[in-house]
Amino acid sequence: MGRIRHPIFLMILTFLARSSTRSLVLVNAWSESLHTTRKAYASFEPLYFANTRPGRRRRSLSISAVDLADDEESTAESFATDAFQVQAPFPPAGDQPAAIQALIERIQKGDRFALLRGCTGTGKTLVMSHVIAGTQKPTLVLCHNKTLAAQLARELRAFLGPVVELFVSYYNHYRPEFYRETTGTYMAKKSSVNPDLDVLRHRATRALASRRNVVVVASVSCLFGLGLPKEYLDACVHYKTHDTFDWDEFLEKLTRLQYRMAEDDESFERGKYQILHDDSTDSKVITLWPPYEKFPMQLDVTPVATNSTQFSVQSIRQGNQGGFQAITECKLFPASHHVTQDMEAACLSIEEELQERINYFNDMGNTDARNRLQVSVLRDLDQLRTWHSCKGIENYSRHLAGRAAGLPPDTLLDYMRLLNGDDWLLMMDESHVTLPQLSSMFRGDQSRKRQLVKHGFRLPSAMDNRPLNELEFWDRASQTVFVSATPSPRELALTNSDPIDMIIRPTFVCDPNIEVRPSDGKHIDDLIEEIKARAKKKEGSLVITLTKRDAEDLASHLEECGVKSAYLHSGLKTLERSNALRALQVREIDCIVGINCLREGLDLPQVSLVAVLNADCEGFLRSESALLQVVGRAARNIHGMAIFYANRVTDSMKRCMDLTVHRRQLQLDYNKKNGCSTRSTTGSSALSFFDLLKDQIEFEKGLMAEAFKAVQLSSFTPEPLQVISAEKGRSQIVTDHIPNTPGVYFWKDAEGSILYIGKGVNLRSRVKSYISTSAKHSPRIKEMVRRAKSVDVVLTASERDALLLESNYIKHHQPPFNVLLKDDEHYPYICASVGDSIPSLTVVPYRQPEHVSGSSRYRYFGPYTSFQEINAILDDIERVYDLRVKSFMTRQGSLSKEAYNELFDKALEEIFGDSRGFSHNLRMRRRQYEEAGLLFDSESNACRDVVTVQLLPDDEALVSVMQLRNGIMAGRYRYTCQVPAGLGEDDLGSVLQTVLTERHYPSGSEHSTKWFPDNVLLSRPSLDVKVLKESIREGRSRIEPNRKGRIQVRTAATRGTQKEIDDRTLEFATKNMNQDVLNHANKYTIPFHGDVASTELADLLALENPPSRIECYDISHTQGENAIASRVVFENGEPQPHLYRQFVIRSVVGIDDYASIEEVLERRFRRAFNANTDLEGDDSWAVPDLVVIDGGKGQLNAALKGILKATESPEGQCDIRSLVAICALAKDKEEVFVPGRSDPVNDHPDSRALLLLRALRDESHRFALKAHRKRRSVLKNV
């Protein structure tokens, strides 16, 4: 054989020498006839091996061999850890061996670019795996979308093992913010982050930092900024057993690494930590979950000395499938790739840029942009300083990273360069699609942000939060291999040498035949027959349309014709797209209808038919490259066939057919010459792509189906609200007077500025949930509640009203603590495109202005408060009229436009008109959903005052003026006046007119524009409407001289649609008026009952003084295991969570609540009695005024024994009552027991004293249960 020099063979010989435990089978070694190339390399079929250890099955592509979520134990035995190795169930065949050899030669020769041009199904992925193993270079594989990246990662991992990692965007859904200058429309960013995908990103960077044999399969999201690689790597910390550290520094490091404390078990997730204290020994158990680990880890630490802040690591445990396993050290990487060492410096830099921009807008005279920018940036700065995070933090990445203006961000490519220099490989999969994205992504990003900066939505530094441009990309890239079936001229130009072609498939299947059939209106029936014929053979079909709507409508029509089908396009969630493909693979459906997502990279050997509708529509979707890719979907099946439905043959069609015929002839000649028999491939696993990558991944978790929503900017500034208010008393807000009805609430700070706006079906319960001691809030909401000093509410008639009103208020006020959740909410409409030749009903996010859309082209119905409502209406319409299928048939020529338009007009009239036809129930359902829009979206209420009046006791009347402006209640003003004794309801019109003409409208000089309405709705008839109109007109002409138009003053209409609007509006106003009357009657009568309850409690227990500080104790356990005792503290009737404590029960085995109570009380009071000095009242161990035990007489006696032991006095020689007052509260009958009495001390069950004791007992029980669950979860599997 001579001297063997080929690098792959040398690699395998090295591997054989290193591996003594593996049995390797030489499946296909050197070919019998060896030929020597110009460079003395042997032309060969590469060596292949498979693991044949007894008892183990061969690894196959059809098995989910590897999971990208750290399941390396099962694969570690099959793959070496120090070099790339290829394992596959079959050797390279067809054109694969020659392609592998040629690519390795060019890479080792130092060529900057190489092109692998392989037909669909020729096994390019296996070739890529052998090239990676042959060159032994760390490799970045770049894909143009995350779905194909996931599939490719799965296939590469089946060949190369656990060295393959996945790096894709962590967004389930992402819609960037933008501003459309022509319509004045701003659309804020909407996104949903998938934490499971973020885990894979962290695993990829950790792998790069830990070893050299790494393959990262990435989508184009890797071109965006990824923090600072050096800062990220330098920030990681190491801990070993017996290491010592300062506790405060440890917590500071966790904060700097962006780990956050979890408030409870439910909120414990990756990137967070929990600390369990044992107050008796001051030891701590830290449970920490790094974002790149599948399970959390634990550190047991103890203080070096008493009251010392220095702690020693006693043990480290890493979580796994069976619990926790001891390890000797751990390495913590940051919880986020965006690590900022000096946040304050970054904030100062942002403030400096903000001031420069403010000066710029002042010079330009653009006050709107200046104010908009100032408010948003100052809000973000506040959040950055508080939480080191804010919405849109990526827009400040230049400041956070300390980069100069204009410099590109650091990306995943910089991690590759930093860790490997230039000794790494870039493979660009489907390069004909991926390569154009390098420039288009950058241009699109800059164009969008240029408008945001121009109009004051973002600082200019946001322009530097961008993807790399093409020059920057190639400046960072190393040797590159383009991989494509249809490369563009750009790849051919970059490659100095000829492409490496792969035409012969390992399965020897030839390219499919292509037929051209007429698109004459009958072609849909022809298509259905072709699909059914293949379904009988258990084969699948793909149908390619031009638009999403065509795909959806054709899929519906196929279902009606008995063909099991589904549509597939970019509007679907990723998981839904994956599930549709899986359904075809497992034959749950026979056909998939799609657009261009059926082109690149899909492994569907079940498909024997590809049908292209409108093939003669020349363009991007029907170009030569697109058609070749589509036809290739049928090239994995021996019965593959493609049909072009067209009325002419375009140039693209001709080139595609000519090339396919040429390649098919080459393949047939090869098969005949070599005696090869064709076979269809079995394909890869039928599991969902992402199921293969991450077990139980919920790819669209928490993401609601939302359409695009936009905000119309307006110069109108609403007046400050004057509504029901609850002030903060002592440490909480009194909510007794807030009603249990739907409405909107406003949290305000000490200056009256709105912090947060929300809605609630039950306002009192919703507001109370914020200030409850057991409330579980995010840091953002906690900060909001801390700042809040009062809460205002506006009542609505229904939940739908509350939804719309909340949305409108948020859009106008943009409160700082709402911005993380909602900042541009609009509720959708149904739009009828009556001006189109083939009209349709669609869902739109907002009503287009008439000057943009035209007044007659579109009709709008709505708004609706949820997409479920719209879908219910549209589904009913489709069920009755079948409009979408009829529309598709019309577009395809199978139904006349006249017949369709007649049907559409009929549906529109019967459902949205006043017809009383058979679909009356559909119309009523639609009107029910639109009722909220009658109030807040009606033109009648666009600029309207609603005036209500009601008599009060003591000869008083209350007049309320509610200002409705542009969909919100912009203000409400109340006037109280004396009225003559005996004034009746019929005379209230005179009161109403007097207040409006003499007080309300004359005060307009003190207010901004829009104080005066276009129309006034009165709950009572005015005495003289002309006088009232003249009063409004006079004030308006004085304040707004340029404003013209008639003024309408009237009571509610008595018929028609206007009656519905007026009745709804008056209901809204009257509901809030009634609450005003209730507030007037209860003004200044809401008492704080803490002192009263303490006084009553002292009387009940015969105490000398009312107890100020009260402690309550409870025990929680599960069948005697993991027992925990809790102590809660109330001062002056209010909880003091900072004084709460928990005790781990030590001496008690099994179920013994009495012994547990005795142990806890002894430990608690021993610390108090053994103190060298008197403990101050604020000390957590100071003796309380009263101790409450959750239980009956038995628990009370046990507590007394424990306190007695703590005094170390002989039994009977110490009077416990002289040391501390104590009682017990039994649950069943709410009975109170005290020492020295066998009978309970009874009181009224609703007395303030018992209410206080019950509040203590309930809080203690809650805290004990929470601590017990935490301990149980720590000690068992996480």
Which residue, chain included where needed, has tokens 């900066």?
453
Residue reference for tokens 């997409």: 867
Residue 323 maps to a domain: yes
Q: Does residue 279 lie within any of the structural domains?
A: yes
3-state secondary structure 626-680: HHHHHHHHHCCCCCCEEEEECCCCCHHHHHHHHHHHHHHHHHHHHHHHHCCCCCC
Closest CA to 391 of 190, 596, 242: 190
Q: Tokens 């000797």 belong to which residue?
A: 328
* Across 633-647, 821-835, 1028-1042, least confident range: 821-835
- Indicate whether 19 pLDDT > 50: no
Q: How confident is the model at residue 850 (pLDDT cuts 50, 70, 90)?
A: low
Q: Which of 151, 133, 152 is nearest to 141 (CA)?
A: 152
- Annotate 159-183 with b (16+ C-beta within 10 A) or e (fewer): bbbbbbbbbbbbbbbeeebbbeeee
Residue where a domain stops, chosen among 273, 300, 332: 332
Q: In which band, very low, low, confident or very high, does the pLDDT at 1110 lie, cut at 50, 70 and 90?
A: very high
Split at pLDDT 50, 70, 90, the class of 613 is very high
* Residue 110 CB contacts under 8 Å (≥ 6 apart), including other chains: 479
- Local structure of 1093: helix, strand or coil: helix
Quote the CA–CA distance of 273 and 269 in Å, as a whole number: 8
Q: Are residues 564 and 526 in the same domain?
A: yes
Amino acid identity of 184? G
Residues 521 and 670 in one domain: yes
In a domain, 80, yes or no: no
d(CA 169, CA 184): 30
User: Average pLDDT in the 359-371 region?
Assistant: 90
Q: Cis peptide before 46, with omega less than 30 degrees from 0?
A: no
Which residue has better confidence, 637 or 194?
637
Give the pair of three-digit tokens for residue 74.
């099962």
Amino acid in position 397: S
How many CB atoms neighbour CB 718 within 10 A?
Answer: 19
The alpha carbon dihedral of 1159, 1165, 1170, 1175 has a sign of: positive
Residues 1071 and 1099 in one domain: no
Instruction: Please spell the DSSP secondary structure of 255-284, one letter per residue.
Output: HHTT-EE-SSSTT--TTEEEEEEETTTTEE
Q: What number is the average pLDDT over the span 340-349?
A: 83
pLDDT at site 18: 34
Residue 119 located in a structural domain:
no
Among candidate residues 619, 610, 693, the one with its CA nearest the CA of residue 652: 619
The helix or strand, by DSSP H or E, that contains position 302, with its residue range, turns out to be strand 297-303
Q: Rounded to whole angstroms, how far apart are CA atoms 645 and 524?
A: 10
User: 571 pLDDT exceeds 80?
Assistant: no
Range of weakest confidence among 790-794, 1071-1075, 1274-1278: 1274-1278
Assess whether pLDDT exceeds 80 at residue 1040: no
pLDDT tens profile 664-684 = 999 899 888 888 888 766 555
Kindly state the greatest CA–CA separation across the chain.
Answer: 123
Mean pLDDT of the chain: 77
Cβ atoms of 145 and 194 within 8 Å: the answer is: no
Domain at 314, CATH number: 3.30.2060.10
Q: What is the pLDDT of residue 101?
A: 93
Measured CA to CA in angstroms, residue 566 lies from 543, 553, 584, 687, 1243 at distances of 10, 10, 9, 17, 69
Instruction: Look up the CATH number of the domain holding residue 537.
Output: 3.40.50.300
Mark which of 1081, 1100, 1125 sits at the end of a domain: 1081
What are the C-alpha distances in Å from 1250 to residues 99, 773, 809, 945, 977?
Answer: 85, 19, 42, 49, 43
Q: What six digits make up the tokens of 624?
A: 């030569």
786 and 862 both lie in a single domain? no
The mean per-residue pLDDT over the stretch 960-981 comes to 74
Give the length of the chain: 1278
- Alpha-helical segments (H) within 136-193: 146-160
Does residue 162 fall inside a structural domain?
no
Please report the pLDDT score of residue 1167 as a whole number.
Answer: 84
Residue 681: per-residue pLDDT: 64
Say if 198 falls within a structural domain. no
Co-location of 952 and 1042 in the same domain = yes
Q: For residue 554, what are its two tokens?
A: 């054709």
Residue 514: strand pairing partners: 642
Pair 845, 972 in one domain: no
- 3-state secondary structure (DSSP) of residue 1016: strand
**Residue 337 domain flag:** no
AA letter at 307: N
My answer on whether 539 and 645 are in the same domain is: yes
Residue from 170, 169, 175, 143 nearest 156 by CA = 143
The pLDDT value recorded for residue 69 is 39
Integer Cα distance of 393 and 396 in angstroms: 6
Task: Tell me which of 1057, 1081, 1105 is where a domain ends.
Answer: 1081
Which residue matches tokens 């100095």?
496
Does 809 lie in the same domain as 852? no
pLDDT of residue 1186: 94
- Label residue 838 exposed, middle or buried (CB < 10 Å: 0-12, 13-18, 19+): middle
E strand spans, 488-590? 500-502, 513-517, 540-544, 565-568
Please check whether residues 750 and 647 belong to one and the same domain.
no
Question: 777: domain CATH number?
Answer: 3.40.1440.10
DSSP classification of residue 36: B
Strands 829-832 and 841-844: antiparallel
pLDDT per residue as tens digits for the range 246-293: 888 888 888 778 788 876 666 688 888 888 877 667 788 888 888 888
Phi, psi of 636 (to 5 degrees): -100, 0
Residue 1176: count of CB within 10 angstroms of its CB: 7
> Per residue in 713-768, pLDDT tens?
222 222 232 333 344 433 456 666 677 778 888 888 877 778 888 888 888 888 88
pLDDT at 1157 over 80: yes
CATH number for the domain that contains residue 1048 = 3.30.420
Cα 561 from Cα 581, distance rounded (Å): 21
> Do 962 and 983 lie in a common domain?
yes
Domain count, the chain: 6
Residues 1237, 1151, single domain; the answer is: yes
Does any domain span residue 84? no
Residue 798: domain span: 738-813
Q: Calculate mean pLDDT across residues 1112-1133.
A: 86
Q: Within this chain, do residues 925 and 841 fall inside the same structural domain, yes or no?
A: yes
Q: 3-class SS at 355? A: helix
Segment 803-807 shows an average pLDDT of: 71
Nearest-angstrom CA–CA distance, 324 and 1274: 10
| Residue-level pLDDT at 649 | 93
